[in-house]
């Protein structure tokens, strides 16, 4: 226990293949910020726009990334925690420097998060007073809640759900919110106190609250269960009909071009001013517009990542210092050749996704990387570009340095300042710190290289409201900046992967669509590369 960890024959972080990912401080900060920025409650009679739908999608987004990294390591996908009765084999030992404040303790006093021994079981949580006991959460209630939700999904009604759940997109928030505030929250509470269920005055585990839960493998098992429940409803909606979202634009597999930013800076340093649009149209467009550029010296089909070591200060805890490993990507630029085949200007939204090649037929395992808007003139052939560090999925500006990575920590003194505001005001103030970490923008891949499918869907951008600026925060994951702002995309969260595929096939679903292109890329974990 010299380093704070238990004996290595009990638990050794070095043998935990996903320890580096689950314990990335910026990942945990993103999850904490999201729940602050997108709370489930109402303020002045108004909830955050589409919060319940957003809740499901943001956690699905995290799950897809977690499973993609597991797949790269040859690990099985996350096993959903569907059993509320039998022992849970996984133990969990939180990092020794991780601590929490407890209500009723003197100011500044913090205590460690407790470990969870193996083979714990769901049990009723009971408060024990001088003369009586009171059951706060019961296992049978959790089971009943699950049954009630599944009955509702099946199109039936009861006292809990007197109104029928329709098979339409606009029901997503109703279902997502119901799953979140009842089944999800109660389950987290019960898992957080699973080691000592007989009093709520005991110290809970990381699964109670949003700050550190992603460190525990059980978090991912619980959320895969939650997502699978929602997927039952999505599956009933059936495959999506894209006939009303096929703008007059053509893109092809060879039109998807990737280039490393550091190499572009060598050949055209001034290109950074226009994201190399002029350069790309000279080298990839014009007389080269129809050429396959796979072997072009400026083009890559392999994205790269590496592991870095940094000195991490536990700013939210006891200010301890620790050397930690974290993932980091080699910066790249998207180039996409597109042709407007109509005599009128068209406004388009480019939606970029990736998925492990073995999982492409599972719609919930696709990872949204970016979406951005461009306008093409009549019959225009052009090359559009987008920086990966401006992606709508990430917290902006991109957190590349150690200082930037630590900027989003919610320290005790910051919490004191925020205490003067109501939760809606706090949500607005912290919006700019909400978003996926740049260092985790793509999965790590593997040493030999892992094959992913890269998919580009060009949708009608006329009225989808997708933001075109590079404002702070992530409008993909964190909703609108102000409390009453609408989500800046009228499409369902996860579009076009928000429904099951036709005949369970990715290829059949998008076959023959001119506004769609996809190609195989490799993500490779390497020793080093230039940073920009």
pLDDT digits (tens, 9 = 90+) for 173-214: 999 999 999 999 999 999 999 988 766 678 899 999 999 999
d(CA 101, CA 110): 5
Q: What is the pLDDT of residue 105?
A: 63
d(CA 434, CA 427): 10
Counting runs of H as helices and runs of E as strands, what totals does the chain give?
13, 14
274 three-state secondary structure: helix
Task: State how far the alpha carbon of 301 is from the alpha carbons of 254, 332, 439, 509, 525, in Å.
Answer: 11, 11, 20, 24, 14
Q: β-strand 321-329 against 249-250: which pairing, if any? A: unpaired
Q: What is the pLDDT of residue 4?
A: 57
Q: What is the pLDDT of residue 100?
A: 87
- End-to-end distance of the chain based on CA atoms, in angstroms? 40
Share of the chain above pLDDT 90, in %: 81
If DSSP states are collapsed to H, E and C, what string results for 87-111? CECCCECCCCCCEEECCCCCCCCEE
pLDDT digits (tens, 9 = 90+) for 377-403: 999 999 999 999 999 999 999 999 999
Cβ atoms of 176 and 226 closer than 8 Å? no
Domain spans, the chain: 18-237
Cβ atoms of 42 and 151 closer than 8 Å? no
Exposed / middle / buried, residue 168 (Cβ in 10 Å: 0-12, 13-18, 19+):
exposed
pTM equals 0.95
Looking at domain 18-237, which CATH architecture does it have?
A: Orthogonal Bundle (1.10)
Which residues of the chain are under the pLDDT cut of 70?
1-10, 14, 103-108, 198-200, 318, 468-470
Backbone torsions φ then ψ of 110, nearest 5 degrees: -125, 150
d(CA 88, CA 24): 25
Q: What is the pLDDT of residue 126?
A: 86
d(CA 248, CA 442): 30
Task: State how far the alpha carbon of 325 is from the alpha carbons of 23, 24, 312, 448, in Å.
Answer: 9, 8, 9, 20
d(CA 255, CA 271): 20
């Amino acid at each position: 226990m010299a380093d704070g960890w238990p004996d290595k024959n009990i638990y050794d972080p070095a043998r935990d293949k996903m320890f580096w990912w689950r314990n990335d401080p910026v990942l945990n900060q993103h999850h904490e910020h999201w729940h602050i920025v997108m709370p489930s409650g109402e303020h002045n009679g108004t909830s955050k726009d589409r919060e319940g739908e957003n809740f499901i999608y943001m956690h699905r987004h995290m799950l897809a990334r977690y499973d993609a990294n597991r797949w790269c390591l040859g690990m099985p996908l996350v096993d959903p925690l569907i059993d509320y009765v039998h022992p849970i084999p996984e133990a969990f030992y939180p990092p020794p420097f991780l601590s929490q404040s407890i209500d009723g303790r003197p100011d500044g006093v913090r205590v460690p998060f407790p470990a969870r021994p193996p083979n714990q079981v769901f049990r009723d949580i009971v408060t024990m007073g001088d003369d009586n006991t009171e059951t706060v959460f019961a296992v049978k209630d959790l089971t009943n809640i699950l049954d009630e939700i599944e009955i509702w999904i099946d199109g039936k009604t009861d006292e809990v759900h007197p109104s029928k759940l329709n098979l339409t997109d606009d029901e997503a928030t109703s279902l997502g919110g119901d799953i979140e505030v009842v089944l999800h929250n109660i389950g987290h509470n019960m898992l957080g106190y699973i080691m000592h269920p007989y009093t709520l005055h005991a110290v809970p585990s990381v699964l109670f609250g949003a700050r550190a839960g992603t460190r525990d493998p059980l978090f991912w098992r619980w959320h895969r269960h939650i997502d699978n429940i929602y997927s039952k409803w999505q599956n009933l909606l059936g495959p999506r009909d894209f006939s009303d979202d096929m703008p007059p634009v053509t893109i092809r597999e060879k039109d998807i071009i990737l280039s490393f930013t550091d190499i572009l800076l060598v050949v055209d340093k001034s290109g950074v001013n226009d994201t190399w649009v002029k350069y790309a149209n000279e080298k990839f467009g014009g007389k080269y517009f129809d050429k396959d550029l796979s072997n072009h010296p400026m083009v890559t089909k392999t994205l790269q990542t590496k592991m870095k070591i940094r000195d991490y200060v536990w700013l939210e805890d006891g200010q301890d210092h620790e050397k930690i490993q974290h993932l980091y990507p080699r910066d790249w630029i998207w180039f996409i050749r597109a042709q407007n085949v109509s005599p009128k200007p068209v406004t388009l939204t480019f939606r970029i996704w990736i998925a492990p090649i073995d999982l492409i037929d599972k719609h919930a395992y696709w990872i949204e990387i970016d979406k951005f808007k461009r306008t093409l003139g009549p019959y225009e052939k052009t090359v559009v570009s987008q920086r990966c560090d401006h992606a709508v999925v990430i917290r902006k500006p991109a957190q590349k340095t150690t200082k930037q990575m630590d900027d989003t920590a919610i320290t005790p003194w910051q919490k004191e300042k925020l205490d003067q505001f109501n939760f809606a005001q706090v949500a607005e103030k912290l919006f700019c710190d909400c978003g996926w970490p740049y260092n985790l923008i793509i999965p790590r891949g593997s040493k030999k290289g892992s094959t992913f499918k890269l998919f580009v869907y060009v949708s009608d951008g006329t009225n989808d409201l997708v933001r075109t600026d590079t404002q702070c925060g992530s409008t993909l994951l964190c909703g609108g900046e102000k409390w009453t702002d609408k989500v800046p995309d009228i499409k369902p969260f996860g579009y076009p992967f928000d429904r099951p595929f036709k005949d369970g096939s990715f290829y059949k679903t998008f076959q023959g669509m001119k506004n769609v292109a996809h190609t195989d890329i490799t993500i490779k974990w390497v020793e080093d590369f230039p940073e920009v």
